[in-house]
Amino acid sequence: MIQAALPPIVDSHCHLDFPDFEGERDALIARAREAGVTRMVTICTKLRQEPQVRALAEAHDGVFYAAGTHPMSVADEPMATVEQLVEMARHPKFVGIGETGLDYHYTAESAEIQRESLRLHIEAARRTQLPLIIHSRNADDDMAQILTEEHRAGAFDCVMHCFSSSAALGKAALDLGFYLSMSGIAAFPRSTELREIFAAAPVDRILIETDSPYLAPPPYRGKRNEPAYVAKTAVVGAKVFGLSYEDFARQTSANFDRLFRKAAGGEA
List, for residues 126-143, the tens digit of each pLDDT value: 999 999 999 999 999 999
Q: Does position 189 have pLDDT exceeding 60, yes or no?
A: yes
Mean pLDDT score of the chain: 96
State the Cα angle at 198 between 193 and 199, rounded to 5°: 90
Q: Is 135 annotated as a binding residue?
A: yes
Residues 168-194, mean pLDDT to the nearest whole number: 97
Q: Is 121 annotated as a binding residue?
A: no
Residues 60-75, mean pLDDT to the nearest whole number: 97
List, for residues 208-230, the tens digit of each pLDDT value: 999 999 999 999 999 999 999 99
pLDDT at 267 (0 to 100): 66
pTM of the model: 0.95
Domains of the chain by start residue, with CATH: 9-263 (3.20.20.140)
Q: Is 211 annotated as a binding residue?
A: yes
| CA dist., res. 232 & res. 226, Å (int) | 11
Query: pLDDT-derived band of residue 268, with 50, 70 and 90 as boundaries?
Result: low
| CA dist., res. 44 & res. 102, Å (int) | 16
Q: Is 196 annotated as a binding residue?
A: no
Query: pLDDT-derived band of residue 7, with 50, 70 and 90 as boundaries?
Result: confident
| CA dist., res. 213 & res. 248, Å (int) | 23
Query: pLDDT-derived band of residue 5, with 50, 70 and 90 as boundaries?
Result: low
Query: pLDDT-derived band of residue 3, with 50, 70 and 90 as boundaries?
Result: very low
Q: Does position 235 have pLDDT exceeding 90, yes or no?
A: yes
- Across the chain, where does the E strand assignment appear? 9-14, 37-44, 63-67, 94-103, 132-137, 158-160, 179-182, 206-208
Residues 177-190, mean pLDDT to the nearest whole number: 97
Residues 179-207, mean pLDDT to the nearest whole number: 97
pLDDT at 265 (0 to 100): 72
pLDDT at 4 (0 to 100): 45
Cβ(163)–Cβ(217) below 8 Å: no
Q: Does position 2 have pLDDT exceeding 70, yes or no?
A: no
**Surface-to-core class of residue 138, CB atoms within 10 Å of its CB (0-12 exposed, 13-18 middle, 19+ buried):** middle
